[in-house]
Amino acid sequence: MNRRKKAISIVSVILIVFLSFFSYIKISDNYRTVRLPEEIVLIPLEFTNIFLIPLKEGYMLFDNGYEKEYDYFLNKLKRNNIDVMDIRYVMISHHHDDHVGFLNRLTALNPSLKVILHEKSVPLLAAGKNNQKNGGGIVNSRIYALFRLKQLITPGWDFSFPPYSVRDTDIILRGESAELPEEVGLKSKVVYTPGHSSDSISLVYKDEYIFAGDMASNFLNLAGAKHLTLFNEDVGVVYSLWEKVLSMNIRYIIPAHGRPFGAERLKENLHKYSQKDLVVYF
């Protein structure tokens, strides 16, 4: 076998193992799933789930995906018979590349759309790159290896995103928690939930649900994620937030990665990792 053929077959084997690992885990993570409230429109992107939450008038979009997913997103809206101009607010759970990639596109298309974000997101969004200054790492070495492999086979995946400059009309939330302003037309509390990133927020919905962003996840549990998002700046802070969520009697977690799940699974997985277990990535 010549060298080129050999290289191709090695890469193919790695790809097959990698893809079957991912699909296996995706399927097996689906057990004991929780249904979304029926009015919520889920738009699943490559890795990030984003949601349209109906308001008195129009919709609030919770998060958005990678920049390259914009056209796919518009198509999905069409298929759901939703006019993109009916999106009046976009809430950003935090500044990472897989959550804010087409924010500029949306505000350019509809300048009256308002972005809702935490004050800590303001400089991080303007920087256009996932913050790597707060340390932290990947939950375990298996997931670290998958991350490295994905980076190897995904050209241009460098944790950057189009920088977003917050406008005067955007809604900046401050402090540990805040009610959504009345103009939004949705009575809901926003909780500051750092740990995954220093600017993370989550949205409590109908008292029982929480749109968690990356405060928790339901992805790669069989590889040992144990409901943590794969990367965390401070895992101790994440667990203290899980305890807070449990004390608020929230029953269902709606994560950005993976399907919704019952809050009891946070309780079962509390403190499974400590900060020193994390594998430094950056």
Q: Report, in Å, the least distance between residue 201 CB and Zn ion.
A: 12
Residue with smaller CB distance to Zn ion, 124 or 263: 124
Stretch that binds Zn ion, among 17-25, 157-165, 174-182, 213-221 (CB under 5 A): 213-221
**DSSP string for residues in 102-129:** THHHHHHH-TT-EEEEETTHHHHHHHTB
Q: Report, in Å, the least distance between residue 138 CB and Zn ion.
A: 12
Q: Is 279 exposed, middle or buried, given 0-12, 13-18 or 19+ CB atoms closer than 10 A?
A: middle
* DSSP tag of 271: T
Q: Report, in Å, the least distance between residue 100 CB and Zn ion.
A: 10
Binding-site size for Zn ion (CB under 5 A) equals 2
Spatial neighbors of 171 by CB under 8 A, at least 6 apart, are 89, 114, 115, 116, 117, 181, 184
Amino acid at 249: N
Q: Report, in Å, the least distance between residue 195 CB and Zn ion.
A: 11
Q: Report, in Å, the least distance between residue 65 CB and Zn ion.
A: 12
Q: Report, in Å, the least distance between residue 68 CB and Zn ion.
A: 17
Residue with smaller CB distance to Zn ion, 77 or 198: 198
Residue with smaller CB distance to Zn ion, 130 or 221: 130
The secondary structure element, H or E, covering residue 247 is helix 235-247
**Residues 83-112 vs Zn ion: string with x where CB under 5 A?**
-------------x----------------
**β-strand pairing of 49-54 with 59-62:** antiparallel
Q: How far apart are CA 109 and CA 85, in angstroms?
A: 8
Is residue 69 a contact residue for Zn ion (CB under 5 A)?
Answer: no
Question: Minimal CB distance to Zn ion: which residue?
Answer: 96
- Start-end of H helices in 93-195: 97-100, 103-109, 121-127, 141-153
Is residue 214 a contact residue for Zn ion (CB under 5 A)?
Answer: yes
Spatial neighbors of 227 by CB under 8 A, at least 6 apart, are 216, 217, 218, 221, 261, 265, 266, 269
Residue with smaller CB distance to Zn ion, 60 or 238: 238
Residues 127-156 binding Zn ion (CB under 5 A) are: none
Residue with smaller CB distance to Zn ion, 121 or 188: 121
Q: Report, in Å, the least distance between residue 281 CB and Zn ion.
A: 13
Residue with smaller CB distance to Zn ion, 96 or 227: 96
Query: Residue 46 to residues 14, 68, 73, 99, 123: CA-CA distances in angstroms?
Result: 20, 10, 11, 11, 26
Residue with smaller CB distance to Zn ion, 48 or 188: 48
Q: How far apart are CA 161 and CA 148, in angstroms?
A: 19
Give residues in contact with Zn ion (CB under 5 A): 96, 214
